[in-house]
Amino acid sequence: MTSATCAAPPVVDLRGVARTYQGPSPVTALHPVELRIGVGEHVAIIGPSGSGKSTLMNLIGLLDRPTAGTYLMDGVDTSQISERDRTALRGHRIGFVFQAFHLMPHRSCVENVMLAQLYTSRRPKATRRANAIEALVQVGLGHRLEAHPGTLSGGERQRVAIARAIVNRPKLLLADEPTGNLDSSMAHSVLDILDNLIADGLTLLVITHDATVAARARRTVRIADGRLTETQTGATGAG
């Protein structure tokens, strides 16, 4: 390993991170975990309902705070920064893709993607539009820029959602059941798009209960009762 590769911190570095939900009967949804995800990795987290996948995703996505441990996101100790800085870190370095596409129905594709830059970019509207077009072209939707989501297939809608998630050039893409609402051919096209983004250097964490989605990842981490077990490494590709 060269000194140049050593210099890049992991995108995700969980050190003893745990989450207990308080209440009359506290629930430890995540027991202390160690998880490091390097730049450009493709990792799948797979586990049954109630195993702690959303809890883990919310922590990694900076939507929630651990009750123990330390989370370094792209080298930044997230326990040491203000709420405002956490929001900025999330906006600039993390993109989210969900099972339900969450697109604005009365806005065109390009407008939907432009909206994602409102709080992260002070650039002029023309630049935001150019960035949105670039992201839509990247996901193969350059020909549907002005279409409204209602006129698109499910797979195309998810591709708009992916364009929206990558338009701010995040380091990490968090995808929660990204193909959960799609038939298998649309699911494949969405997974192909995600594969292309990894080839371009993005880091991808997919949370799923679908073994075929998980099989695309280089690393598969199983979660059960809030505990992680790495079940495979280098599952695909030449390694």
Ligand X SMILES: Nc1ncnc2c1ncn2[C@@H]1O[C@H](COP(=O)(O)OP(=O)(O)OP(=O)(O)O)[C@@H](O)[C@H]1O
Residues making contact with ligand X (CB under 6 A): 21, 23, 27, 29, 47, 49-55
SS3 at position 28 = strand
* Count of all residues that appear for the chain in the document: 239
Could you give the count of Cα atoms lying within 13 Å of 50 in the half-sphere of its Cβ? 1
DSSP lists the bridge partners of residue 17 as 33
What's the closest the beta carbon of residue 131 comes to ligand X, in angstroms? 32
Residue nearer to ligand X on the CB measure, 149 or 226: 226
Residue nearer to ligand X on the CB measure, 51 or 203: 51
Closest CA to 78 of 11, 162, 26, 29: 11
What's the closest the beta carbon of residue 52 comes to ligand X, in angstroms? 4
What's the closest the beta carbon of residue 96 comes to ligand X, in angstroms? 15
Residue nearer to ligand X on the CB measure, 20 or 121: 20
Q: Which residues contact 104 (CB under 8 A, 6 or more apart)?
A: 111, 112, 115, 149
Rounded Cα–Cα distance for residues 155 and 58 (Å):
24
Residue nearer to ligand X on the CB measure, 55 or 117: 55
> Could you tell me where the DSSP H helices lie in the chain?
3-7, 53-60, 83-93, 109-115, 125-138, 154-166, 184-199, 211-214
What's the closest the beta carbon of residue 25 comes to ligand X, in angstroms? 9
Residue nearer to ligand X on the CB measure, 27 or 198: 27
What's the closest the beta carbon of residue 50 comes to ligand X, in angstroms? 4
Q: The tokens of 15 are what?
A: 């050190």
Residue nearer to ligand X on the CB measure, 55 or 138: 55
What's the closest the beta carbon of residue 53 comes to ligand X, in angstroms? 4
